[in-house]
Amino acid sequence: MSTASAPSSFPGSGGLLPTTLTGRALLHHEFSHLRKHWWWLLALGILLVVCGTVAVVVPPIATLAAIDVLAIVFLIAGVATIISSFWAGRWSGLLVNLLVGILYVVAGFVITEKPFQAIEVLTLFIAIWFIVTGVFRTLAAMLIRFPQWGWALLNGVITMLLGIYIYRHFPISAVWVLGLLVGVEMLFSGWTWIMLAFAVRSIPAETTT
């Protein structure tokens, strides 16, 4: 005895109705939860804005904190990769995965032992990355001339000049570049969460019921 199940969606029929109602109910549930706890989003945004402001005002502190976090991330990733390579059993990628994990651990220890040298290396990488990215964006905007290409051109030029400035002022720029970038990122993220919190709070009550 065989049973045939009706398709969840069928053009021209009511097959989409259960799926639509389920999705709408799920959306209402999410909106209701966010609206009741909107102040958590606001608190997170304010915390990020405060931390970002401190990082921008005092970038050396943020730079040291960021490099410490990076070292911890490398160590945790390395240990997890090594453990997972053995848990996976006998497979062809075990040796490569094991070597990658060891490399992560070694990089974490090197950053921990020589944080200032690691900061200098990261600063040079950021400078070169900005220069290369800026040149490519500038050339692409000038050659392709896609819609609104002027903004891409401006973005490329500013990125390239920023990379050149960081490189020209190296190694002094290593003191503030990483911390400043982290601070700006936290500021933008913080204000995004704050705006989202107020947007969720302003959702009409009937939408969440």
d(CA 65, CA 150): 37
pLDDT higher than 80, residue 1: no
Here the tokens at position 74 are: 């490398």
d(CA 197, CA 110): 41
Closest CA to 181 of 157, 195, 162: 162
Q: Which pLDDT does position 32 carry in this prediction?
A: 62
pLDDT higher than 90, residue 19: no
* Per-domain residue ranges of the chain: 39-202
Q: Is the peptide bond before 59 cis (omega within 30 degrees of 0)?
A: no
Return the H-helix or E-strand segment holding 8.
none
Q: Which pLDDT does position 206 carry in this prediction?
A: 56
d(CA 14, CA 23): 15
- Residue 98, classified by CB atoms within 10 Å of its CB into exposed (0-12), middle (13-18) or buried (19+), is middle
For residue 146, is it left (φ>0), alpha (ψ between -120 and 50) or beta?
Answer: beta
In percent, how much of the chain has pLDDT > 90? 4
H helix intervals, 16-114: 16-36, 38-57, 59-87, 94-113
- Phi and psi at residue 2, to the nearest 5°: -115, 145
Q: What is the mean pLDDT of residues 36-56?
A: 82
158 SS3 class: helix
Q: Which amino acid is at 3?
A: T
Neighbour count for residue 195 (Cβ, 10 Å): 13
- Residue 100, classified by CB atoms within 10 Å of its CB into exposed (0-12), middle (13-18) or buried (19+), is middle
Q: Are 183 and 54 in contact (CB under 8 A)?
A: yes
> Among 89-93, 154-158, 198-202, where is mean pLDDT lowest?
89-93
Model confidence pLDDT, tens digit, residues 130-153: 899 889 989 988 888 777 778 888
Cβ neighbors of 42 (< 8 A, separation 6 or more) are 193, 194, 197, 198
Here the tokens at position 200 are: 């969720």
Q: Are 82 and 98 in contact (CB under 8 A)?
A: yes
